[in-house]
Amino acid sequence: MVMPEHTCPYGLKSKDLLERQGYDVEDHPLTTREETDAFMAKHNVETTPQTFINGKRIGGYDDLEVHFGKRDPNADDTSYTPVIALFAVAALTALAFSWYALDTLFAWQTLGWFVSISMILLGLQKLKDIESFSTMFLNYDLLAKRWVRYGYIYPFVETGAGILMTAMVGIWLAAPAALFIGTVGAVSVFKAVYIDKRELKCACVGGDSNVPLGFVSLTENLGMMAMSITMLILLFT
């Protein structure tokens, strides 16, 4: 579909994939709603684009990826990619802070920044669609099940505590807040995964996440707890 108000992204991606596979592409843009409806009726399909190779219909972009072995149609949709990308960015940002502020790449403060920056990024993922996050969160968080509003408050606490910890200010507020949500989160995840043996998606990177609930979420909460305890010890010694 190539219309004044809309160009189909999957059409462009299909054309690009075919060209990368060495095919000469004969493109037929659908420029009106009437053309699109007539095309779908003629070929008895519900979506566009549709790819034909040597006269045989392959299907849409997903079907094209399967055809070229780029996608496994039977593969599980769970993925650790979002959380790996997030922690990688947090680690690199912490190293950048260390290089600028401490004139070294590695120090104890680097680890602290890694945890606090991770909290900020994880909080932002939740805040981008707080309704979806709170819904998924209710599947396993023990406090949210008793007090639904906690699911809406959590992302603000996580993000705010991460900002304060990164700046090393307001530790008297940030550390207890992070310790609280980290402890409740760790207990909730441990119970859901390791005691109840439930297979759930983790809301740690937002409500649209396909990350399995388990080690990643537990590590996130334990990291918050460890950093909070360390900061409280430093604050009162």
Residue 94 lies in a domain: yes
**What pLDDT does residue 75 have?**
66
Range(s) of the domain holding residue 139: 81-235
**What pLDDT does residue 171 have?**
93
> What is the tens place of the pLDDT at every residue in 114-132?
999 999 999 999 999 999 9
- 97 in the same domain as 53: no
**What one-character DSSP code corresponds to residue 29?**
-
Residue 72 lies in a domain: no
Residue 168 lies in a domain: yes
Q: Per-residue pLDDT averaged across 216-228, rounded?
A: 90
- 88 in the same domain as 14: no
- 226 in the same domain as 112: yes
Please say if the pLDDT value at position 4 is more than 90: no
**What pLDDT does residue 216 have?**
82
Cα(6)–Cα(217) distance, rounded to whole angstroms? 39
Q: Per-residue pLDDT averaged across 224-235, rounded?
A: 92
- 218 in the same domain as 175: yes
Q: Per-residue pLDDT averaged across 150-156, rounded?
A: 96
To the nearest 10°, report the CA torsion of 106, 228, 88, 83: 160
- Which two three-digit tokens encode residue 173? 């507020």
- Point out the domain boundary residue: 67, 95, 110: 67
Cα(153)–Cα(163) distance, rounded to whole angstroms? 16
Domains: count for the chain: 2
Residue 75 lies in a domain: no
Question: 68-93 b/e with 16+ CB inside 10 Å = b?
Answer: eeeeeeeeeeeeeebbeebbeebbeb
Least trusted range by pLDDT, from 38-42, 69-73, 84-88? 69-73
- 157 in the same domain as 55: no
- 118 in the same domain as 53: no
Please say if the pLDDT value at position 95 is more than 90: yes
- 105 in the same domain as 9: no
What CATH number does residue 22 fall under? 3.40.30.10
**What pLDDT does residue 80 have?**
80
Residue 76 lies in a domain: no
- 223 in the same domain as 125: yes
Residue 100 lies in a domain: yes
Residue 227 lies in a domain: yes
